[in-house]
Chains A and B, each alone.
Chain A
């Protein structure tokens, strides 16, 4: 029996559907990526990775995940293209304006009593929310004494974030978000328009350091007063979520603030009960060491 037919027969005998086979291929691919390049996607959400990988196959005219695996093993530029497709997260300025409103009323008053403020924006992607936070701090008169670490493991998005140039067509949404977030001026006070793009004022990022940091593999790198990590955990499985919360716990002093996305939670972390809930809707938490883990 020719091998192709034999394979097909084996596959039928074992009841393996093409979806099941693709799951196996995916696991092998993630292992290959980790062993060959050191990037660890093995505890990312499988459904999320699968969607992006299937999309990547289509865009690169590849017929199977196995074919992609063979390609990226020997071709670094092919791997870089895959990395881009796996790691870029879409964001917008003042995404969930209610969160920024809550941050203004609940977190800012506390921060204003500190002489120095350190903020870690983890998984900052292309930086839209870093600029949002900087604007908010500026309007509260706190930007001068703040230090913001904006991190992502994708160097390309960090470069975009550093430049602070965004598409003009998005700006109308950002203006609306800014106003709903309780902005005190006009968003246009902070950018200039050129060639169909907007470029944000460099004074906003004077106190921002953009750093390469991988939540899946790297450790604590600074003690900070506030961690903002919104809509990043949703891309991880429970195990990796727990690891990252552990990292956050150890990066915060007592009374340190943790801000997650509105649909995210601490429930897979052993530290859940060591955080007091400041805002249950906007998912703002405060580390309270007096609460037992």
Chain B
């Protein structure tokens, strides 16, 4: 049973994340953790938009926030986001990974350790290789992985890097991802 979803995206990620979160149905009652590479820019505007247009409560994470179902947590700019065994969030200012802070690998790895086979990892458009290692850890821990089809992604570099490192369970064009997530969760 899927107990949590992690999503990673870089270049073109705002549009891709919006597409997915807008099309997840209200029955999707698991926490969703997101790393979006956006440099040092603020994400308040995007978070507000998602709060107004999706079924989720969306926020950028604060240290030790409690993980709640039906919430979407964004890694804040310039912090890595990790998940604790006790269902709280931890932030860190450790060195950049793949030139990125927040790093998708850091989030995916920590979520894989906590949720194991109950984790669904989704890697979207992007023009670097962040997330490829994280997807392999999710697979090693028994989780499920979806990679956006590199042929139709805004930038196929990141999905391609993941496909080269691991065999994802599904490779899907963006529009098909949200419906498939709903069906995997039985919603």
By a beta-carbon cutoff of 8 Å, the part of chain A in contact with chain B is 17-19, 22-23, 45-48, 50-52, 89-91, 95, 231, 233-235, 237-238, 241, 261, 263-265, 267-268
Contacts and interface: CB of A to CB of B under 8 A. Distances in A.
B90 A234 contact: yes
B164 interface: no
A48 B80 CA distance: 10
Given A46-B85, A51-B94, 5 more contacts: A19-B141, A47-B82, A47-B113, A235-B92, A268-B64
B37 to A, nearest CB: 17
Contact of A233 (B63, B94, B142): B63
B95 interface: yes
B142 A17 contact: yes
A91 B64 contact: no
B93 A46 contact: no
Contact of A19 (B62, B64, B93, B116): B116
Interface in B6-38: none
A152 B160 CA distance: 43
Interface size on B, as a range, is 20 to 34
Nearest to B110: A47
Contacts of B116: 17, 19
Residue among B91, B95, B109, B116 with max Cβ neighbours from chain A (10 Å): B91
B56 interface: no
B76 A263 contact: yes
A200 to B, nearest CB: 21
B83 interface: yes
B9 to A, nearest CB: 21
A234 B80 CA distance: 11
A181 to B, nearest CB: 14
B84 A46 contact: yes
Interface in B136-173: 141-142
Contacts of B76: 263
3 closest A-B pairs by beta carbon, nearest first, are: A47-B82, A45-B90, A234-B63
B79 interface: yes
B83 A234 contact: no
Given A48-B82, A238-B64, A263-B63, A19 B113 contact: yes
Contacts of B94: 48, 51-52, 89-90
Contacts of B61: 263
Contacts of B141: 17-19
Given A233-B63, A265-B63, A51 B93 contact: no
A241 B64 contact: yes
Contacts of B64: 238, 241, 265, 267-268
B171 to A, nearest CB: 26
A48 B62 contact: no
Given A45-B84, A47-B83, A234-B93, A264 B113 contact: no
A48 B92 contact: yes
Interface string B62-76: 111000000000001
Contacts of B90: 45, 47-48, 234
Contact of B84 (A19, A47, A89, A261): A47
Contacts of B106: 51
29 contacts: A17-B141, A18-B141, A19-B113, A19-B116, A19-B141, A45-B84, A46-B84, A46-B85, A47-B90, A47-B114, A48-B82, A51-B106, A51-B109, A89-B94, A234-B63, A234-B79, A234-B91, A235-B92, A241-B64, A261-B63, A261-B93, A263-B62, A263-B63, A263-B79, A264-B62, A265-B62, A265-B63, A267-B64, A268-B64
